[in-house]
Amino acid sequence: MSDVRHLLVLPDREAAEEAAEALGERFALAEEPHVVRDALAGEDDAEDAQWLVVLRDEEERLDPGELDEFAARWDGWREEP
């Protein structure tokens, strides 16, 4: 079993929390996605932070293209591993 993770980058906390909740509903995830704040290098201002949604996909059943479209709904994107 591999340790595959998907990383969605979103513009703010509200978008990240909404996306994490919707991900669980849309994709019937076994594990709840993790929401993490990622401050940009050298920035102290919370406005300059990105919010990440981390998904584990050990069975590799999530389609990267679908996740790209999903993240775009919140003005975000999926980072390649």
Instruction: For residue 58, name the pLDDT band (cuts at 50, 70, 90).
Output: confident
Angstrom CA distances, 66 to 8, 46, 48, stand at 12, 29, 27
Average pLDDT value for residue range 12-18: 95
Query: Where along the chain do its domains lie?
Result: 5-79
- Is the pLDDT reported for residue 53 higher than 60? yes
- Is the pLDDT reported for residue 28 higher than 60? yes
Distance CA 66, CA 18 (A): 17
Residue of higher predicted confidence among 22 and 24? 22
Strand partners, 56: 5
pLDDT of residue 59: 84
Angstrom CA distances, 7 to 4, 11, 45, 69, stand at 10, 13, 22, 13
Residue of higher predicted confidence among 79 and 1? 79
For 29-48, how does the pLDDT look when each residue is reduced to its tens digit (9 = 90+)?
888 899 999 876 555 555 56
User: Domain 5-79 adopts which CATH fold?
Assistant: Alpha-Beta Plaits (3.30.70)
